[in-house]
């Protein structure tokens, strides 16, 4: 099987190379590449589609994490502290889902005349989503939690925090282009 060429037509970077290069500017480039590579044909070499897809992947992962946490919170044998931490975390992750959903909706409405204002809104909402996830993570620090539950939840939360951080970096990069 032939390797994917680093350049496409007339020296323009391939969609895979575009993703790799764009992800190199994120805090978690390996996660960025692995989470977006399967969407290369849809992204092509569009900074807008890259940011949109990063938000979409982050939203999907955050929603599935929220569902998983809801199921875990209903497990038998959790201490009152674990139940409280899970409920707080579910609320924070739910807030992240809302912020990411708003961001995606706004990305779909961007036009040249409202680009700067809308990008500012999106940056604010994605930053808020990241803060919500970080707040959730704090509830699982310390030694008051069951080791297995703590590890499962923290692993999921760290993953969505990293995805959100990467999405914010790609949104910021797109915002810096100053056009729709």
pLDDT band for 3, please (50, 70, 90 cuts): very low
Give the tens place of pLDDT for each residue, 164-179.
999 999 999 999 986 5
pLDDT average, residue stretch 72-97:
87
Residue 13's SS3 state is: strand
Give the tens place of pLDDT for each residue, 7-60.
444 556 799 999 999 999 999 999 999 999 999 999 999 999 999 999 999 999
**CATH fold label, 48-177:** Butyryl-CoA Dehydrogenase, subunit A; domain 3 (1.20.140)
Q: Where are the domains of the chain?
A: 48-177
163: closest CA among 5, 30, 10, 8?
30
User: Measuring CA to CA, how many Å separate 125 from each of 100, 146, 170?
Assistant: 7, 32, 14
* 110 vs 46, higher pLDDT: 46
């Amino acid at each position: 099987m032939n390797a994917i060429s680093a350049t496409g037509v007339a020296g323009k970077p391939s969609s895979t190379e575009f993703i790799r290069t764009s992800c190199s500017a994120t805090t978690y480039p390996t996660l960025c590449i692995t989470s977006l590579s399967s969407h290369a044909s849809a992204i092509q070499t569009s900074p807008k589609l890259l940011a949109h897809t990063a938000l979409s992947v982050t939203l999907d992962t955050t929603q599935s994490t929220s569902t998983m946490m809801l199921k875990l919170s209903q497990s038998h044998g959790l201490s009152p502290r674990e139940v409280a931490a899970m409920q707080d975390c579910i609320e924070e992750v739910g807030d992240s889902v809302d912020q990411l959903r708003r961001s995606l909706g706004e990305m779909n409405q961007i036009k040249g005349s409202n680009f700067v204002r809308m990008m500012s809104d999106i940056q604010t909402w994605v930053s808020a989503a990241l803060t919500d996830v970080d707040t959730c993570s704090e509830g699982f620090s310390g030694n008051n939690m069951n080791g297995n539950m703590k590890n499962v939840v923290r692993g999921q939360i760290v993953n969505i925090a990293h995805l959100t951080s990467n999405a914010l970096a790609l949104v910021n990069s797109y915002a810096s282009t100053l056009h729709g």
